Structure 1
Amino acid sequence: MSDMLKIGTSGVLAQRAMLQTTSNNISNVNTEGYSRQRTIIRTNVLDQGAGFNTTSRILNTYAERELLRDNARVGYYTAKTEAITTIDSMLSSDATGLNPVISDLFASIQGANSAPTELSSRNSLMGNLEVFTNRVNSIGNNIQEQYLTNNRKIEESVTRVNDLLQSIYKFNSQIVEASTDTSSAAYLQMQDQRDHLITELSEIIDIKTVEQPNGSCYVNMASGSTLVLGDGCATLMVEPSSLDETEYHLGLTYNADNGYTLLSDDVGGKLGGYFDAGDELRETQRNLGKVAVALADSLNKQNKSGITLENKAGDALFNLPETRVFTRSATCGMTMSFMEGYASNVTGKDYLIKINNDGTYTLNEKNGSELTEIFQGNVDDLNGTITIPDLGFQVEVSGVPAAGDEFLIQPTANVSYNLSLKINRPEDFALASVIRGSEDSQNLGNATISIDGVTNTDALSAFSMTPSDSINGAVFATGAPVRVVINAAGNYEVYDASDNIIGTTLASTKGGNILANMLSDVNDPDSLVFGDAGTYPGFDFSITGTVRNGDSFVIELNTNGFADNSNGILMQNLEQAQLVQGRINQTVSAAYSDMVSDLGSTISVSNVNLEAATAKRDQTLTITEESSGVDLNEEASNLVRYQQCYQACARIISVSQTVFDSLLSALG
């Protein structure tokens, strides 16, 4: 009878354990992070009845690991898309974008050209110029604010990662301590809580896990760096660059006193998405600055090449800001400014000047952490103003640089929100040309002279004019071209005011760009008189029509010619000019459209990838839930089955008692 009692008792205890596990599963059906448990009864190899039972979690290890990767992908594309979608919407909208404003600006220039002496049309131009400036500022400020917000999200993500790493390590320690009873509720609950934290961590950075025999779990970054070990955990650090305080770097340390190891920003998850979104935002900011500089500088240059309504030399329309160069130097400072007239050479890149130990310096194009050397020079040359026309800017050096010094130049990163208007009166639009041409009334041919445009009025030109100087006080420089005569060969001979011949333009040019094509020796096509007519004399003209021997044409200052609109026409033509630097130079509108298109394409690709990553994660999540999730129907069925087993085992105990009583009665 004792065997039946023992068998029944072991069965009751075993079924009670099964019922407890099933009840626990049902109770936690909606508990986040809970993994379904099961109790396994071992065979009693020494005696009859049920053996020992063990309770464990049901996990699909492959699916769990795949879910970590899927979480990281979804987190990455979600963070990246959210950070740049708002900016894309702003750039592409007619109400907040730049292209409609650019179109309105050039339409108002055209309107002013149709009535150059009327203040009403000039006022309209003034208003559109202000709208353009304000719109550039607004877009630039919004991008910068989004960039700084993105940086704050990076900081918050790093803080959360560190909290999770600490919590995972603590749970690991507690799990190891409780590993003497792996079936206990506390042990299983701690594993669930730890794994839930690991799942949350996988959304922020891409990680891999390694299960240990003692129940703990090591956590590594997908790139290889270890985050959680048995004896401690790492700490992530995010710090601004020593040159650009808005550019963040990610590091890892196991002991803050020993410094940290610099990590790649490509860490996956939300954190990686925020870093990549920051790169996109900064690139957009640079490209916007490139567009703004190209248009502002070109309009400045052209307005300074004309005459205002008050008969004065024009001035710049915009203030292009001088920019402080970020420096890592105790002995030297540097500022950057744009070179007037070289806007088409301005790129959307950053540059780094490094002072070497051998007395040289290198100018490098900076693309993230990658540097591409552009040229090398002697440190002794780094004094005063250093012009870099090929890149469209110049730097002003103060002090003496030392070996190891670095200077970060960001030409276009901050232009958009610092651009401002210099002009403040509609009378100051210089729509009239500084010079005009005329034909001699005795000419036998019907040819006419037209000014192709004034490109320079500064000290290097044929007429040195300071902004606001009156045209009435201006004179041509000695030796400047002022008269053209057609010779017997049909060539165009150019003379100065002292009737000295300066050079000859061949008849084969058909009178196009006389000064740019003028030769000192008609037999030598390489003997150009002016290497750069755009700088000196700073203007050019063409003669069209039939010319005859002896015909002459005169170039003179456009005194009292403020009703002229020829310089305004050149301003208007800037709308179709390829001003913006690129693989192929583009118009301002086309460059802006490409910038918006590139950002939109990035978002579109990111959205497609997000959709695919989400579908993949949902599929993996379904697999994990099928194994680890609680199925109420299955648990209810088990509950009934285990209850029946429990009752049957209890019946064995009852029967054994009845049999025992019967035996006692029989023995009397």
Structure 2
Amino acid sequence: MSTSSIGSLINSALGGLNIASSSLQTTGHNISNVNTPGYSRQSVLQSARTPQFSGAGFIGSGVQMEGVMRSYDSYLQGQLWDVNGKLGAASTMNAQLSQLNNMLSDPGSGLSPALNDFFAAVQAASNNPAGIPERQALISNAEVLANRFNALDGRMQDMANGVNTQLQDHVSTINTLAAELADLNRRILDMQGGNPAQQPNDLLDQRDQLIADLGKEVGVTVVPQDNGQVNVFIGTGQTLVAGAKYSALTTVQDPLDPLRLEVAYEKSGSVISKQLTSGTVGGLLRFRNESLDPARNALGRIAVGVASSMNDQQALGLDLEGQLGGNGANIFTMPKVGVQGAAGNTGSISSAVVSDIGKLQASDYRVTYDGSAWQVLRQSDGKTPSDLSVSGGTISFDGLTLTVGAAPATGDSFLVQPTRKAGSGIAVAIDDPRRLALAAPYVSNAGVNAGNVSVSEGKVSDAGTGINLPATAFGKPVDIKFDDPPSSFTITYSGGTVSSAYTEGMSINVPYPAPSSSNWSVSLSGTTPVAGDSFSLTPAGPGDNRNGLAMAALKSQNLLEGDSATFASSYGRMVTRVGTDGRQAQIAEKAQNNLFTQVQQAQQSVSGVNLDEEAANMMRYQQAYQASAKVIQIADSLFDSILAIKG
């Protein structure tokens, strides 16, 4: 054997020695990072060197190292990022809805017990309308009911504030991750030196882990670039990271709702909340928009319904002093309709009132002026109310009436919230139990009559068909007497008389004083009156309870949601909707958890470190190293032998 052959043998063995050493080092690196989040298993790529030609053919010249490769599947990694974002949204929705559902459905602190106790107190006061203790108990239960509305709405406002705080925290985290990701893009490009084939594996793993963390926050779409960098998009394609640059996010106040924070680009101020549906941020926004706001609006609608209907009925009765209940003695303070104008508006909405609780929707509205007409958009479904009516300076829709103040300019916009804060706005307005109007205005009486004509008990009527007395007659006795012949009769009231031909079933209406448009109406029935037959309407005394009974009956009347729901059933529907949303969120989180586990297992089967496999590799590379060293030892011995022969 020639000295050149021995040199080739040593070079070949040195190649094997180096490969074995690098493989041992890489295996040790894998073992050390077995618990490092996002780490991908690495392995040494090697290939045979170009053989050398000899007279007997080509002789191998050993091995050479091609690089260090990480075990990686871009498809599985992309799936993992996507599922991670959806899991973040589902987990957030489930956690938030669990709190809301527990609060609303609690049998002790929910609205239902307070509603039941209040109407039970109304019934008890009606059973003893002259009793001061019963009247005081009614006021006390009204205060409990108002406080319950206040407490529930306050808890929901706390949850809304919590969403704001969490949005700020998570947006800050997103900015930190985006900055680190942009910096890693720069470092990766620098380390590759313009050669994407030479990849800094550990930095790539760090970048993938940052993307995973970012995806859990907001959901991401990753687009690799030819230079080895990646661009990251959020939402429906909004740029977050582009190479070594990133676009910082921030939270800004909604211009029409200062208590509400939205996600926007820090530099431009452009709001992108509606585009964010994935990750923790997407989950928070969805919870607020799809569950919390509707529930709060639904609670407020019940508060408006209770206050409005009870006040309206109170206004139709007499108190213990014989005064109308509507004479400055409302039972509840009527919650105000919230109206917020955009900055820069020249026009205004001077008043906004609930005109029909049956048509009232649990929704906010965007009201805008386009230069020629008013446009109204219901926020809950994005539709224009079908009953929208604009007449002069009045805008009516969905049981609301808005009055335009200052003349609007093109682009003026307003946020109208008829029920959003009604739960916190309701309060008890009456403190004197004697002012509770439990009596009806009149008692119908019949004299000792010979004919068969009778007079009805009387009821509240809106339509004034029949004989309409002047409003000045209200609250004073009204006498009815048949003439001779009895084909007609005469009505005597304070301030005048009215004569009329008799028709069976005809109505006699005593109008309530303004601003009420109602009447106290009685009807005459019977075919055979006798001259001199008489009837009277006399103001009811303190023992009358008919208006109190009408108040108690409001509990079971379908007054809300298009006259399809009682107060209790409307609350039950709200709780059911929240419970259904919560159950769906639980199922979604469980499904996303299972899917995440499956995708993670598939990804780890490619990229994960298996300690048993690495231990086997360690032994294999150790043996290869020892074998290569042995070859060098043998070559050294052969070289010594040649030197000895020549000597």
* TM class, shorter-length: 0.7 to 0.9
Is 1:346 equivalent to 2:360 in the alignment?
yes
Decide whether the 8 Å contact of 2:330 with 2:430 is kept in 1: yes
Query: CA offsets, 1:158-179, max 9 Å, x none?
Result: 2222221121111011001001
Alignment match, 2:520:
539
Q: Does 1:175 align with 2:188?
A: yes
- Match in the other structure for 2:332: 318
Q: Given the alignment, which residue of 512, 518, 542 partners 1:562?
A: 542
1:401 pairs with 2:424: no
Deviations 1:360-396 (A, max 9, x none): 3314033169452664647xx43xxx474x5444445
Cα distance 1:553–1:397, how it changes in 2: closer, same or farther (>3 A)?
farther
Distance (Å, rounded) in 2 between the aligned partners of 1:558 and 1:387: 40
Q: How far apart, CA to CA, are the structure 2 residues paired with 1:594 and 1:602? A: 12
SS at match of 2:122: helix
**For 1:24-60, what per-residue CA distance to the aligned partner results, in whole angstroms no more than 9, with x for missing partners?**
1111111122111111112212551111231121112
Which stretch shows the higher mean deviation, 235-244 or 61-70?
235-244
1:235 matched to 2:248 = yes
- For the pair 1:605 / 2:619, whether they are aligned, the reply is no
Partner AA of 1:40 in structure 2: L
Alignment match, 1:470: none
1:366 aligns with 378
Superposed, which structure 2 residues align to 1:193-272 within 5 Å? 193-221=206-234, 223-230=236-243, 232-252=245-265, 256=267, 260=270, 262=272, 264-272=274-282
Distance, in Å, in 2 between the alignment partners of 1:205 and 1:150 is 15
Identify the residue that residue 42 of structure 1 maps to in structure 2: 47
Structure 1 counterpart of 2:56: none
Aligned to 1:414: 421
Q: How far apart, in 2, do the equivalents of 1:108 and 1:176 lie?
A: 76
Whether 1:631 aligns to 2:604 is no
Matched residues in 1 for 2:642 and 2:331: separation? 118
TM score, norm. by length of structure 1: 0.84
**Aligned equivalents of 1:21, 1:334: Cα separation in 2:** 72
- What secondary structure does 2:47 align onto? strand
2:194–2:227 contact (8 Å) kept in structure 1: no
Q: Which amino acid aligns with 1:595?
A: M
2:636 matched residue in structure 1: 657
1:424 positional shift: 0.9
* Identity level (%): 25
Superposed displacement of residue 248, structure 1:
3.8
Give the Å deviation of 1:210: 2.2
Alignment of 1:456-467 (within 5 A): none
Is residue 304 of structure 2 the alignment partner of residue 293 of structure 1? yes
Conserved 8 A contact 2:336-2:422: no
CA contact (8 A) 2:364 2:380 kept: no
- Aligned counterpart, 1:284: 295
Q: Which runs of 5+ in 2 are unaligned?
A: 1-5, 53-60
- Paired AA for residue 615 in structure 2: A
Q: Which amino acid aligns with 1:286?
A: N
Other structure's SS at 1:345 match: coil
Residue deviations 1:475-518 (CA, integer Å, cap 9, x gap): 4399x9864879999x99895645535686655xxx8xx469xx
The aligned residue for residue 432 of structure 1 is: 439
Q: Which runs of 5+ in 1 are unaligned?
A: 465-473, 517-528
The CA distance in 1 between the partners of 2:489 and 2:644, in whole Å, is 148
Aligned length: 620
* Cα deviation, residue 343, structure 1: 2.5
Q: Contact conserved, 1:162 with 1:235, CA < 8 A, in 2?
A: yes
Structure 1 pair 391/366, CA: closer, same or farther in 2 (3 Å)? closer
Closer/same/farther in 2, CA of residues 393 and 501 from structure 1, 3 Å limit: farther
Q: C-alpha displacement at 1:214, in angstroms?
A: 2.9
d(CA) in 2 for partners of 1:649, 1:482: 127
Q: Secondary structure of 2:44's partner?
A: strand
Q: Deviations over 1:299-355 (max 9, x none)?
A: 011112111123322121011133452112454443444356x33232222233322
User: CA 1:481–1:159 in structure 2 vs 1: closer, same or farther (change >3 Å)?
Assistant: farther
Alignment RMSD (CA, Å): 3.4
Shift of 1:191: 1.2
Distance 1:376 1:556, change over 3 A: closer
**SS at the partner of 1:117?**
coil
Instruction: State the partner residue of 2:14.
Output: 9
The alignment partner of 1:432 has SS state of: coil
CA offsets 1:89-136 (integer angstroms, 9 cap, x no match)? 111111111111111111111111111111222222122111100000
1:645 Cα deviation from its structure 2 partner: 1.0
Q: Which residue is equivalent to 2:58?
A: none
Aligned with residue 144 of structure 2, among 131, 140, 164: 131
1:151 Cα deviation after fit = 1.8
1:286-311 superposed Cα distances (whole Å, 9 cap, x missing partner): 11111111111110111121111233
Bigger drift between 67-76 and 112-121 goes to: 112-121
Q: TM-score, normalised by structure 2?
A: 0.87
In the alignment, what sits opposite 1:107? 120
Q: Amino acid of the residue matched to residue 279 of structure 2?
A: G
Judging changes above 3 Å, is the alpha-carbon distance between structure 1 residues 276 and 2 closer, same or farther for their aligned structure 2 residues?
same
SS in 2 for 1:437: strand
User: Do 2:338 and 2:421's aligned partners in 1 also have CA atoms closer than 8 Å?
Assistant: no
Instruction: Give the whole-Å Cα distance in 1 for the aligned partners of 2:98 and 2:314.
Output: 38
The DSSP-based 3-state class of the residue aligned with 1:264 is helix
- CA deviation map 1:137-158 (0-9, x unaligned): 0001111110121122122222
Equivalent residues in 2 for 1:55-204, closer than 5 Å: 55-180=68-193, 187-204=200-217
Contact 1:455 1:535 in 2 (8 A): no
Deviation (angstroms), 1:250: 3.5
Counterpart Cα distance in 2 of 1:111 and 1:477: 26
Residue 498 of structure 2 is aligned with which of 497, 500, 519?
500
Paired AA for residue 109 in structure 2: T
Q: Which moved more, 1:123-132 or 1:400-409?
A: 400-409
Aligned-partner residue type, residue 623 of structure 1: A
Tell me if structure 2 keeps the 8 A contact 1:483–1:555: yes
Range with bigger deviation, 223-232 or 15-24: 223-232
Quick one: which amino acid aligns to residue 208 of structure 2? D
